Amino acid sequence: MGSPSYKDIPSQGRDANLYSNSDLSRDSNRFKLRRRLSISHLLSTFWSVDVLAPVGVGVLALVIWQVAVWVADVPPYLLPGPILVVKTLVMEWTTLFPSLLVTLQITLTAFVAATLSGL
């Protein structure tokens, strides 16, 4: 028997090199990206336990905080409830926003300084 021809070896047939490995991986990556950006995938990710558990704990903590402030009748200057915090943030946005920018600038500067000093 002679040596096998390209027709006898399926993995080495004439269509085997129709797509290179880079083409296949690029197509695979495109498919994965489309899958990750699809609405159903985003919704299934949002409704997963990995997302809902921390959100639920955060909401529960805010509810407990608000109820504790109401029940204990704590003065707002000692401990404002989350509802009052949000109301104040919205109503005083023009005053608070410049302060936010200063705080972010200081935070970013400190982060950069810490990063550089760690080198």
Residues 6+ apart with CB under 8 A from 69: 79, 80, 81
- Is the pLDDT at 21 greater than 90? The verdict is no
Residues 6+ apart with CB under 8 A from 29: none
CA atoms of 111 and 119, how far apart (whole Å): 13
CA atoms of 109 and 116, how far apart (whole Å): 11
DSSP codes joined into one string, 16-29: TTSS-HHHHHHHHH
List the structure tokens of 117: 């000093």
Residue 29 is predicted with a pLDDT of 63
The residue ranking higher by pLDDT, 104 or 48, is: 104
Section 89-107 average pLDDT: 96
Indicate yes or no: pTM above 0.75. no
